[in-house]
Amino acid sequence: MDNFIYKAKQLHVENVAISDIASFVGTPFYVYSQTSIEQNYKTFQNAMSGTKHLICYAMKANSNQAVLKILGNLGAGMDVVSGGEYLRAKAAGIPGDRIVFSGVGKTREEINLAIRGGIRQFNVESEPELSEISKVASELDTEVPVTLRINPDVDAKTHLKISTGKSENKFGIPLYNARRTYAFAASLQGIRIIGIDVHIGSQLSDLTPYKDAFAKIRQLTEVLRADGHNIDRVDLGGGLGIIYESSNDDMPSPADYGCLIKEVFDGLNCELELEPGRWIVGNAGLMISSVIYPKKGEGRNFLIIDAAMNDLLRPALYDSHHDILPVKEPFNSVKLEKFDIVGPVCETGDTFATQRIIPNMGAGELLAFRSAGAYGAVMASEYNSRPLIPEVLVSGNKFAVIRDRPSIQDIISRDNLPDWL
C-alpha cells in the first residue's frame, strides 16, 4: 500500500498534508511514514515464514532513533558497521543479542565496546581482524561468537560503487581461502565459530547473483561442517533493490527472494539472518523541497530549489534517479515542461534531474522526492555551511520532528580557535 497519495489536491503522508508539515518545519526536510516502515518489515517477515530466522535491519540505510525504535518494537535485530551505530542501536533499546557487527575495519575500541555491551556475533572479514578479536576477548576472559564473511566472487550486477561480492572488492575472505581461515579461527583463544556470512551488494534488481552466491555458501557450509566446524547460522546479508522509477516496476519482491532462500537452503538445518535496509525504509520516505527560482537558460529551463547535494547525495554520487512530483496535485490540463532540477550549491554536480518532465513550478511551490527514506539523511553533510535538514515521522494523523534543524550558530560554535589567533 502506498502511504503517499494525493487527497483534496494535496500530497499527503498517511493522513497528514505535506504542506502542513512544511509550514511547521520549513523546507527542505525528510518525512517518513511509520505505517510504511512497519508494512515493509512485515512483508520481509512473511516472506521468510516457515524458517528459523532473524531480520537484522541494516541501519546504515537510516539510523534515526525513531526508525530503530519502530523496528525494534517489531522484534527486528540490527546490523551495525561502527561503534557509533552500535551505540545508536543500544540507545534505541535493542539488546546486544539482536545486534550483528559487520564491517571491514572494526577497531580495537569498537570490538571492546561490543563485547562489553553484548553482541549477537561479529561478521569477521580478515585474519588480522580475527586475531584482534581474539586478543580483546582473551583480555576480557570471554568467548565471542563469530561468523566469517566469505567473498564468493559473484557479480551483483549493480552500481560499481555498491557491489561488494567480487574478488577485487575489499570485502570478505576469498572463497578459496575459507577452509584455511576457519581452521585458523578455530585455533584462536576467545573465538567461537557459529556460522558463515555473505553479502554481495546493494540495490540488486535480479535474483540470479543471489542464487549463484547462495549455492556457493551452501556448498561451503557442508564442507566446513565436514571439517568439524559448527555452522549453525548463515547470514545472507541484504541488498534487495527497490523501485526508484515508477515506470520501472520489474523488481524481485521479498516473496521471490524468500522462495529462493528456502529453495537453496532447504534441509540445511540452520538459522538464517537477513540484513535488509533500503527495502525497509527507502520507499517509506520523501524529501521535500521548495522552489527558490525558476530560471531560463540557453536551450533549457531550470528549477533552482532549496535542497542541495549535501541534503540528498545519491544523484550526485551514483547518478541515481528519484521520481519528483509536485506536492500540489496538478490539473490534468496543466502544461508539462522539461526542467533541470538543481540545488544552490556552486557545483554542476548539484543536479537532481536533467530534462525532467513536470508541471511548470513557481517560487515557493513544493516538490517531493520519492524513495528518499534510505541513504538520504544518513549521508547528508553541512557542505557550504548548510544545516542538516529536519527529519519528520508521520503516524496516521500525527507528525513529530525526530531530528531538528541546527542553527548556523550551532554549526559555528563547534569550531575552536587556537590561542594564537
Which residues carry out catalysis? Answer: 346
How would DSSP label each residue in 201-254?
BSSB--SHHHHHHHHHHHHHHHHHHHTT----EEE----B----STT------H
Instruction: Decide: 12 and 18 in contact? Cβ < 8 Å.
Output: yes
19-29 burial code (b ≥16 CB/10 A, e <16): eebbeebebbb
Which amino acid is residue 330, in one-letter code? P
Contact indicator for 178, 220 with CB cutoff of 8 Å: yes
C-alpha cell, 393 = 515521522
Q: Could you give the CA distance from residue 244 to residue 260 in angstroms, rounded to a whole number?
A: 23
Picking from 33, 8, 4, the residue whose alpha carbon sits closest to that of residue 398 is 33
> How far apart are alpha carbons 152 and 266 in whole angstroms?
20
CB 9 within 8 A of CB 385: no
Alpha-carbon distance 11 to 8, whole Å?
Answer: 8
Name the grid cell of 306: 532549496
Task: Give yes or no for a contact between 151 and 173, defined as CB atoms under 8 angstroms apart.
Answer: yes
d(CA 231, CA 175) in angstroms, rounded, equals 16
Question: In 3D, which of 403, 399, 290 has the Cα closest to residue 12?
Answer: 399
Instruction: Report the Cα 206 to chain-centroid distance in Å.
Output: 18
